[in-house]
Amino acid sequence: MSIRGKTILYTGAAGGLGLPATLHFLREGATVLAVDHDAAKLAALVDAAAGIDAGHLVPMRADLSDLAGFHALLSAQATALGGLDVVINNAAIYPSKPFEDYSVEDHQAVQRVNVDAGIVAVQVALPHMRAQGWGRIINIASITFYGGWANLSPYVASKGALVGLTRAWAREFGAYGVTVNALSPGAFPTDAEKIHPDPEGYTRFVLDHQSVKRRGHPGDIAAALSFLASDAAGFISGQTLNVDGGWVMH
Ligand SMILES: NC(=O)c1ccc[n+]([C@@H]2O[C@H](COP(=O)([O-])OP(=O)(O)OC[C@H]3O[C@@H](n4cnc5c(N)ncnc54)[C@H](O)[C@@H]3O)[C@@H](O)[C@H]2O)c1
- List, in order of start, the domains of the chain with CATH numbers: 7-243 (3.40.50.720)
Looking at residue 196, its pLDDT comes to 82
Residues within 6 Å of ligand 1 by CB: 12, 14-18, 36-38, 41, 63-65, 90-93, 113, 140, 142-143, 185, 187-188, 190-192
Q: Does residue 76 register a pLDDT over 60?
A: yes
- Contact between residue 115 and residue 158 where contact means Cβ atoms under 8 Å apart: yes
> How big is the chain, counted in residues?
250
Which of 190, 241, 244 has most ligand 1 atoms within 8 Å of its beta carbon, as the pocket-test mutant? 190
Measured in Å, how far apart are the chain's first and last C-alpha atoms?
26
Containing 14, the helix (H) or strand (E) segment is none
pLDDT tens-digit map of 205-246 = 999 999 999 999 999 999 999 999 999 999 999 999 999 999
Per DSSP, 246 falls in state: S
CA-closest candidate to residue 30, choices 8, 50, 58, 52:
8
Per the rule left: phi > 0, alpha: psi between -120 and 50, beta: everything else, 12 is left
pLDDT tens-digit map of 125-167 = 999 999 999 999 999 999 999 997 899 999 999 999 999 999 9
Rounded CA gap, 67 and 205, in Å? 38
Given the residues 10, 94, 155, 176, select the one marked as catalytic: 155
Give the chain's mean pLDDT: 97
155 catalytic? Reply is yes
* Closest Cα to atom 18 of ligand 1: 15
CA-closest candidate to residue 170, choices 161, 160, 162, 180:
180
Q: Rounded to the nearest whole angstrom, what is the distance from the C-alpha of residue 163 to the centroid of ligand 1?
A: 17
Single-letter amino acid code for the residue at 65: S
Distance of CA 220 to the CA centre of its chain: 13
pLDDT tens-digit map of 159-208 = 999 999 999 999 999 999 999 999 999 999 988 788 788 999 999 999 99
Tell me the residue ranges of DSSP E strands in 167-250: 178-185, 240-243
